Structure 1
Amino acid sequence: MSKSDEFLQHITQGNTHKGDYITLGAAMLDGKTINNAFVNIPLKTMNRHGLIAGATGTGKTKTLQVLAENLSEKGIPVLLMDIKGDLSGLAKPSPGHEKIDERHSLIGLPFEAKKFPVEIMTLSEQEGVRLRATVSEFGPVLLSRILDVTETQAGIISVIFKYCDDNKLPLLDLKDFKKILQYATNEGKAEFQNAYGRISTASTGAILRKIIEIEQQGGDLFFGEKSFDVQDLLRLDDTGQAFINIIRLTDIQDRPKLFSTFMLSLLAEIYATFPEQGDTEKPKLVLFIDEAHLIFNEASDALLDQIESIVKLIRSKGVGLYFVTQNPTDVPEAVLGQLGLKVQHALRAFTAKDRKAIKLTAQNYPDTDYYNTAEVLTALGTGEALVSALNEKGRPTPLAATMMRAPMSRMDILTDSELKDLLHTSELIEKYNETIDRESAYELLNDKIEQAEAEEAKRKAQEEKEKLEKAASRKSASRSSSRQNPIVKVLSSPTVIRSVLGILGKMLK
């Protein structure tokens, strides 16, 4: 048996699956594509998370697009973080090209141009379905980790939430939280101290500065109502295709704090609301996080711990997480170790540091007799990748250098008019794009402060009135005591006294 025949048998046996699967492309050996040596990813293991990595221009985005298309086609909803702004073309079919036909001929897979149901979403003022969450939904633990506060400050945040719960003060947006922080150390200082103990002004000041940092990155747009219901990520269209939900993030690349805040809140909400699913034939939802280093580079240790915990636990809810980044080292080892699918596009070895990173990357893949993994990593062309997945039993499939199939949808963005037409047909924009600012902690505390100030002013006015009345009474008494009775006044006059003395003198004689 030739090496090529052995390899074909090796690949096809390792990539034959009983359940449904996605075909990524065909395996390659010695730089040549082996026709019909399909590299398949079983849907059953798509909730085991994954990584798409590679240097700029090697095809990461197209791989993401292929995966999203095939998941949607099989009724599995997708959420994409579109940081570069180049994924909206999923809503339109590919115009086709002779190079696409040539690629698919080598793979042995027919090409079909197709569009997919797409929902455009936004965290900022860009057009799209507005994604929001309330401060209350975050809760004290998650908010403390996002703000990266000390243990003492985290305790104060817990007290703030407890006070708001006890006093029915809704915490909806950041101005609510800032107001209660100020109230705790000013007008409500005595109230807080009696009920919960002393709260340090220095600590509340430090928390307030952290809140302002989030505000400056656009958090005031994200926190508030109407809260986004994660169940709306799971919609299907009339043909049974699942929606591909694209979050436009092109304007927050320089605001990693907001990106991390959103991601963690979304994952926490999904974990809290989705039922346990266990091992099923396909995932319930798949998330692709492009430019994943934006989450990890700016994350605190506490935030990283929270992300790692969610990555480990959320697969039981039927949710798969896929990180897209230039280098696998952008992802912490604790998270990298949880990823079942790895699609590694070419890496470039320009420096000694690059060569070291390539050696480390090669060690993350199964051993194979058919490739020198480190060498292949630098020799892959555009649209080619090393693929390692898990079969239905959770075992790694054979490592395969793969010629990736082309996306069925457009590999370019929508025009402005096409985007407006797509937004016009959205069922969710009307539901979520109205800004609601109902009565919450900010307004209720202002009313409470105004009422307290009015009562204090009334009390002071009453005290002043009583003081004036007492002063008037004392003055009146003084005037009254200084006035003499007319008879006494006559009798005490000098003339009368002399007359009385004269009479008395005569009587004594």
Structure 2
Amino acid sequence: MSDIFLGLGANGERQSLNLSRANRHGLIAGATGTGKTVTLQGLAESFSANGVPVFVADVKGDLAGITMAGSPTFKHADKLESRAKELGMDDYAYSDNPAVFWDLYGEQGHPIRTTISEMGPLLLSRLLDLNETQEGVLNIVFRFADEQGMLLLDLEDLQSMLIHTSEHASELTAKYGNVSKQSIGAIQRQLLSLDSQGAAQFFGEPALEIADFIRLDEQGRGYINVLAADRLMRSPKLYATFLLWLLAELFETLPEVGDPEKPKLVFFFDEAHLLFDDAPKALEDKIEQVVRLIRSKGVGVFFVTQNPIDIPEEVAGQLGNRVQHALRAFTPRDKKAIRAAADTFRINPDLDVERAITELRVGEALVSTLMEDGAPSIVQQTLIKPPRSRLGPVTPKERAIIQSISPVDGKYDERVDRESAAEVIAQKMVDAAETAQEVEEQGREKVAERERKSPSLWDGLGGKVAKAAGGAAAASAGSILAAKLSGKKSRANPTASAASSAAGTVATEIGKAVGIPGLGRFARNLIGGLMR
């Protein structure tokens, strides 16, 4: 059975990771500067050499060197060669690894994108730091978009859909529950904040195809997918949410394979504590479920963190392979972490684990891995093997060369903007405006046509008055109307009632001439009031 050499135990035994148990996940923990990154790099290149693709997040910018062969002229080369000799690695030689650079912002690698719909309301609520009520409204927005047949691809789509939902809030409230404009406003503010962090580049198309993470080169080595995360770490919630989304996508996309001879993909989650910081219970349950079930898809997840107690017990219980570097007992929390770490190992009667954790040298760790029968090995104090690739970053020129020979070159680099919710809603607004204008124009044309076919309303006013009340009454009505309009009072006279009757007749005729229901009554009231 194939395995990966990790290092040499203090008892002289070879410490290794069984490939058939690598999908049972793992933990690499230790204080800053104790050798976690070197352990991660050595493990990643060993998986690659065994035909297993790898995903790593380069949070400090020093993992990119995994793509280049080490060299005797580089820093720390003497330490690497000395450690290899100490471990009896007679075949030790520098070598590079096939790699693909990725970057959510598209600056140091191929852009990684997903759509708003694929992210889903649960993860998006986590990303936007929404409360329970706001998350409920966001769920309604997603449901409404689905019912309307509108695609939610990017942030613009979601912003447009929020406005559209607000305009239909009353009918949606009756159907799904309260859709308050305050909650919609809160979501919009959070979206604005997210947009200012550059997250808009993460949402859109073409969306990442998981198959592009699972590739072998012509020599049968697994590609190492290196995510440039140094800038991304300034937005820790985006970083954690993205990696959780990626795990969920792997879980939903990959077929069931049980326990394969070697994993289909190994996923290293650096700065793993960010995934659980302030996470609501529903999200922790989701993480625990994904970690527990994704092993049957042939995916191994290794959490890399400074303090092992950063990982919730429900998740930590799923991590069968452990590499514990030194911890420092400076605070009560540190002491608690040391005790917790010691309790997770299978007891070694010849080793005081709690004491050893505080005394480990750089590049030394306590190691316990799952054996072929699934039981954990006895913990051993171990010298960790040196990597064969370069320690440290790559130059911009070297990065450009790696990009130019990438197997996905040109596939994701240009954004595609197809018709989605924002465009559909905008078109609906244009159509509604055009329809309103057409109706208005048709109304004006109809009125004009009727005026052409009928005598002028005001030209016939004198005639209507005369016909209704005689010449004297018409004159009186005219004078009364003129007085009202000028603000003067007129004295009552015998013909006033006749004038008033004439005004009513004129109002009726106005309504008939224009042909608008109710206008005659309105005109009667208006003219009658003027004449009182």
Calculate the TM-score normalised by the size of structure 2. 0.81
Q: Could you say if the C-alpha distance between residues 299 and 399 of structure 1 is closer, same or farther in structure 2, counting changes exceeding 3 Å?
A: same
- Residue matched to 1:65: 41
What do residues 324-365 of structure 1 show as CA deviations (whole Å, max 9, x unaligned)?
111112222221111111101111223444333322221222
Q: Give me the identity figure in percent.
A: 41
Q: Could you say if the C-alpha distance between residues 198 and 378 of structure 1 is closer, same or farther in structure 2, counting changes exceeding 3 Å?
A: closer
- Residue matched to 2:252: 272
Q: Is the 8 A contact 1:257 1:298 kept in 2?
A: no
Query: In the TM superposition, what is the alpha-carbon distance from 1:114 to its structure 2 partner?
Result: 1.1
Q: Is the 8 A contact 1:79 1:246 kept in 2?
A: yes
Query: In the TM superposition, what is the alpha-carbon distance from 1:173 to its structure 2 partner?
Result: 0.3
| Structure 2 counterparts to residues 108-257 of structure 1, below 5 A | 108-110=88-90, 111-186=92-167, 188-189=168-169, 192=172, 199-257=179-237
Query: In the TM superposition, what is the alpha-carbon distance from 1:210 to its structure 2 partner?
Result: 2.9
- Residue matched to 1:495: none
Work out the CA distance in 2 between the residues paired with 1:125 and 1:147. 22
What do residues 69-103 of structure 1 show as CA deviations (whole Å, max 9, x unaligned)?
11000100000011011111111112144433332
Q: Is the 8 A contact 2:29 2:304 kept in 1?
A: yes
Work out the CA distance in 1 between the residues paired with 2:126 and 2:400. 38
Aligned partner (choices 33, 45, 52) of residue 21 of structure 2: 45
In structure 2, what residue type is equivalent to 1:481? K
What do residues 426-481 of structure 1 show as CA deviations (whole Å, max 9, x unaligned)?
13230001011222111110110121122223334445666677788643553553
| Structure 2 counterparts to residues 286-301 of structure 1, below 5 A | 286-301=266-281
Work out the CA distance in 1 between the residues paired with 2:311 and 2:173. 44
Calculate the TM-score normalised by the size of structure 1. 0.85
Work out the CA distance in 2 between the residues paired with 1:166 and 1:114. 54
Query: In the TM superposition, what is the alpha-carbon distance from 1:63 to its structure 2 partner?
Result: 0.4
Query: In the TM superposition, what is the alpha-carbon distance from 1:60 to its structure 2 partner?
Result: 0.5
- Residue matched to 2:438: 458
Query: In the TM superposition, what is the alpha-carbon distance from 1:194 to its structure 2 partner?
Result: 7.7
Work out the CA distance in 1 between the residues paired with 2:171 and 2:335. 62
What do residues 130-158 of structure 1 show as CA deviations (whole Å, max 9, x unaligned)?
10000111233443444343444334333
Aligned partner (choices 456, 464, 472) of residue 481 of structure 1: 464
Q: Could you say if the C-alpha distance between residues 348 and 193 of structure 1 is closer, same or farther in structure 2, counting changes exceeding 3 Å?
A: closer
- Residue matched to 2:286: 306
RMSD of aligned residue pairs (Cα, Å): 2.4
Answer 1 or 2: higher relative contact order, Cα 8 Å, separation at least 6.
1
- Residue matched to 1:494: none
- Residue matched to 2:309: 329
Q: Which moved more, 1:63-72 or 1:150-159?
A: 150-159
Work out the CA distance in 2 between the residues paired with 1:415 and 1:297. 34
- Residue matched to 2:320: 340
Q: Which runs of 5+ in 2 are unaligned?
A: 472-532
Q: Is the 8 A contact 1:148 1:302 kept in 2?
A: no
Q: Could you say if the C-alpha distance between residues 479 and 185 of structure 1 is closer, same or farther in structure 2, counting changes exceeding 3 Å?
A: farther
What do residues 367-403 of structure 1 show as CA deviations (whole Å, max 9, x unaligned)?
1111100111111111110001111221111111101
Query: In the TM superposition, what is the alpha-carbon distance from 1:405 to its structure 2 partner?
Result: 0.8
In structure 2, what residue type is equivalent to 1:60? K
Partner of 2:10: helix, strand, or coil?
strand
In structure 2, what residue type is equivalent to 1:62? V
Q: Is the 8 A contact 1:279 1:316 kept in 2?
A: yes
Q: Which runs of 5+ in 1 are unaligned?
A: 1-18, 490-509
What is the aligned length? 461
